[in-house]
Each structure stands twice: as C-alpha cells, then as structure tokens.
Amino acid sequence: MATMEAPPRLQVRLHEGAFTNEPFVDFTKEDNVRKMRSAIEKVRGQLGREYDLIIGGKRSKTSDKIRSINPAKPSEVVGVHQKAGKEHVEPAVQAALSAFTHWSRTSVEERASLLFRVADGMRERKLEYMAWLVFEVSKNWLEADADISETIDFCEFYAREALRFSKVEPPVQLPGERGTLTYIPLGVGAVIPPWNFACAIMAGMTVASIVSGNTVVLKPSSDSPTIAAKFVELLEECGMPEGVVNFCPGGGASFGDALVSHPKTRYVAFTGSREVGLHINQTAAQQQKGQLWIKRTILEMGGKDAIIVDADADIDSAVEGVAGAAFGFQGQKCSACSRAIVDERVYDKFLEKLKSRVERITIGDPTANLNMAAVINEGSMNDILRYIEIGKKDGRLITGGARDTSASNAEGYFIQPTVIADIPAKSTLEQEEIFGPVLVVIKSRNFDHALEIANDTEFGLTGAVYSSSREKLDRAVREFHVGNLYLNRKCTGAMVGAHPFGGFNMSGTDSKSGGPDYLYLFTQAKSVGEKIV
C-alpha cells in the first residue's frame, strides 16, 4: 500500500451552540434578487470550463470526457469533465487507503472543524453555488436555495453529531472496571450520489463519511459533476488533506461497478433508482478475493409517494400541498407526490381546484426563476412522455400532457405539469416511479380504502394525509407504511434535524439522513473494558 507523509494538523475552530437550520434567502427583497442575478451572470461567464480527476490530491485528464449540459438549453455546456474508467479504480482506492492511515487518526475536533469551515465557505458564496444548480440541473432559485441550505445544514449537523458520538459512554460501568465505547471509522467508502439534489445529497454522504474518519472515492452523477467539482474545490480550500476525497466522475457500468466490487471498498453510500440500488446491493454482497469484511450498503432509492385527501380535509390546503409536492423541481424528487388519493365525496371538487392551481404554474428558463424548469435530460423527458401516453389511455387527462414547445422553451427539455385522473389502482402509472411532473389522481371510497391504496406499492418513502380527524391522523401514524409521514402538509421538504429522511421496502435501507443515528452507518462501535488495578 502506498504511503504518504502525515498531513499538517488542521486548525480547530468549533462552533458553539445548538444546531439551527440555515435560513432561506428572502427573494421578496429586491437587493437579494439583484445579488442572485449577479451570481447567475458570474457563473454564466465560467460555463464550459474543464475539470480534472483528483486522485490523492493529484490532477489528471482522460481521453474520454463527460460533458455536463444545461437541461433548459442543451446547446450550452456547463462543464467538461474527465471520465474515469476501470483503470482509475485501483489508484483511487489506494489513494484513499493511504489517506485513511492518517485521517482515521485525526482528532474528531479537527475533522468537525473542517466541516464547520466548509459550511462557512458555502454561506459566503451561497448565491454562486445556487447559480451552478440553476444551470446544471435546472433548479429555480427557491429549489436551488433549498439544496444549498441543506448542504450547509448537513455540514453543521454532522459535525456536531461527530462531536457528540466522541463523548458517548456505555450505559453501565461495572464495579472494578472502566468501560469505554468508541465509534471508529470503517475505511474507504464509495459515495455515489444522484443529480436531483446535486449538492446536498452528494455533500451529505461525503461529509458524513469524512467527519467519521473515513476516506472517500466520490463518483458524482454524470448529469451533475460540476457542482460536485466545486464542492471538492471548497473542501480543498478549507484544508482537507490529499486523498481524503478523491473526485472521479465516471460511468456506472464501468467505473462504478468496479469501485463497488473492489475488495478494499468498505462501504457504499448510494442515492438513486431502485434498479441501480439493488444492483449495488447484490454486487457488494459478493465477497472478493482479499476482502475481509461484509460490505455495508447505505441505500436511498425511489418512491411512489401518496397524499391522502380525506372527505373532511381543508381542500384548499390539500390542493396547495399536492401541487407543491407534485411539481416542485419538475417532480424530480424521490419524495415527490406522484399519487393523490382522494375521497369520492370531495373528488370532483378537488380536481376542479387542482386543475385551476396547476394551470397557474409557469414554465421556463430557471435563470428567470419561474415555477418549473426543464427535466434533467432528453432520455428522462422521453420516458416521462411515454408514461403520459399510457396515462391518457388508462385515465382522464385533466391538464398538461405534452412537451412544452413554446418559443422560449423549444430547445430545452420542458414538460407541461400534467394531472391524470381516474387512474385505477395497480395500473402502471399508479405503481411505477415516473420521476417527472406527472400526478395521478385516484378515487377512494373511504379512509380505509385510501390507506389500502397508499400502502399497496413496493415503495415506502414519504406520504401525507390531509384530514381534520384526529382519529384518522393517528391511524395514519400507525398504519401508513412510509419512512417519512406528514400530516396536513406536503410530503416534500424534509428539514435536517427535524425530519430524519429515509424509506422502507424498496425505497432503501431507511438510512435517516439528517438524523441522530445517521453517523452510525459510517462507523463501527468498539467496546473496551479495562480492569481497574
């Protein structure tokens, strides 16, 4: 194994006080609007730059490239990236192993201090990071703000959690013994994030790894490598030693598979589709020659999330919550509402109000901060349009139902917000994750029937119930089988610390990111009992 000199000690600067969520930018203030427009123009001037692989702190280029494009304007290249292949897995893992020798022994105070500095650095350039998301993944300003704010929250929260873990003691001290319980790092982790929360999830899995003392090979999504490159640059600016995070964009079937199956990869942190997550789980479960451990998989996968609207619900509030959860960021959230299950007694009234609300949604270039922008790429757009055509046959189109080809949107991957009613339970659109701006509405006979429909899916990520009945809400808490349940509010918008996030069934391993037990997944407990002489 390669060796390296011990890095200089990081400056320790710990933050006092309890964790609080990062406040969102108030865009009702003209000064903030002006600053955001300025950040967008600054980033626009940096589009198309090339970024290197970073392995063990050393930068390199490859002959194959990944071109990240603007979904709202596909002719515009956001960043050009090197494409790591199988031949880069060994050097990346070895660099991470070498760094692990020292990083795992770096004090938790130093590791936490790094995260606090990263949070500070991101706050200082928050609008600029938001602008990168506007261009690279087509987020409007509010969605970009939520993404970057959550990134800051993850840094602040996991740093405090690591410090808390370092002070844990066994609940019982035996007479004549001194017992300690230490949460030690696992080793080298493969971090494989998605494009939809291109900064928050990528950064969250990365900083949870490194604050726990692990080192990382980071393979960002090929649709969003530029924001990941910017985050790694910030880690380096803040004093992260070489090799602690190795930046390797690459193909899933080549670099990704080889990384997951490498015998020295200790764990895999993944967020993405059910299909890829199951493939990773299966690959990681196979012991490789020289592998000494059972690999841990931390998997956050898909959802087919439902909002139940009961007959006694506040219909206006329910309509607003459903529309927000279904069409925020073009429905490209694993937590998005893709099924509205509505009591037959208020079904027609709900549909009438929902149609009116959805048709007020504006669509266009996210630099202009409209309600909805483009879906992530052409392949995704075509898949979503295929689902819409199926839905038109199985149900009744209420609004939308096509690509948005207005003059200003003709080049981009824009799809109208689409509502399809009268979709039968167990049908394709009621069961399969679409991951786009498509909402299906299903009629229920009563609350029992609504819960039955909601639970009749292989997923179990988020859900919500709108009802004025305490009894029904309490029943939902007991019987609605999802990892994150919301009552009389939308099913998206989990906040770090308040809503630990992760789902059941095929939605993943219920990792509960942003919660008090998340760092357990990146550590292992070592118990020591010492006889007192």
Instruction: Cite the active site residues.
Output: 300, 334
> CA dist 484 to 146, 176, 201, 460, 465, Å?
18, 45, 17, 8, 12
The answer to whether 155 touches 203, Cβ cutoff 8 Å, is yes
- Distance (Å, rounded) from C-alpha 182 to C-alpha 176? 20
Question: Which residue carries 């990792």 as its tokens?
Answer: 511
Tokens of 92: 């990346």
Contact 530, 510 (CB under 8 A): no
CA dihedral 46, 216, 155, 436 (to 10 degrees): 60
What is the Cα–Cα distance from 220 to 315, expressed in whole angstroms?
41
Place of tokens 């046959």: 393
Among the listed residues 312, 380, 309, 314, the one whose alpha carbon sits nearest the alpha carbon of residue 339: 309
CA–CA dist 453, 304 (Å, integer): 11
Nearest to 449 by CA among 423, 425, 421, 474: 425
Chain length of the chain: 533
Q: Output the six-digit token pair for 116.
A: 């606090």
Q: What is the DSSP pairing of strand 504-505 with strand 459-460?
A: antiparallel
355 SS3 class: helix
Cβ contact 381:403 at 8 Å: yes
**What angle in degrees, to the nearest 10, is found between the helix axes of 108-124 and 200-211?**
160
> Is there a contact between 19 and 497 (Cβ–Cβ < 8 Å)?
yes
